[in-house]
Amino acid sequence: MADHEAVAGQVRAGGLEITGRIPGRLHAWARAADGTWLGLVEFELRTGNGRSRLPVTQWCPAHALIMRGGCGPPD
């Protein structure tokens, strides 16, 4: 069984925990077609039973991000 198949099975068994704040790493900013800012963020989701982690990299709206040091998207 491939590693990703084992992780997928564990994720299904424990369910992803997607509530609350999750620490992550901001890699880039991009402006969306409607003028809003998006941050490319890398983070890990954990399963509800705490046994597995799922690495994720995705574009998130700036309003959903809490930045350390008060920095935010470009003006």
- Report the distance separating Cα 59 and Cα 50, nearest Å: 25
- Report the distance separating Cα 35 and Cα 74, nearest Å: 12
pLDDT tens, residue by residue, 5-14: 665 655 556 7
Q: Check: CB of residue 58 under 8 Å from CB of residue 41.
A: yes
Q: Check: CB of residue 11 under 8 Å from CB of residue 52.
A: yes
User: Residue-wise pLDDT tens for the chain (75 aa)?
Assistant: 566 666 565 555 678 888 889 999 999 999 999 999 999 999 999 888 888 889 999 999 999 999 888 778 887
Which pLDDT score is estimated for 5?
61
- Report the distance separating Cα 13 and Cα 57, nearest Å: 22
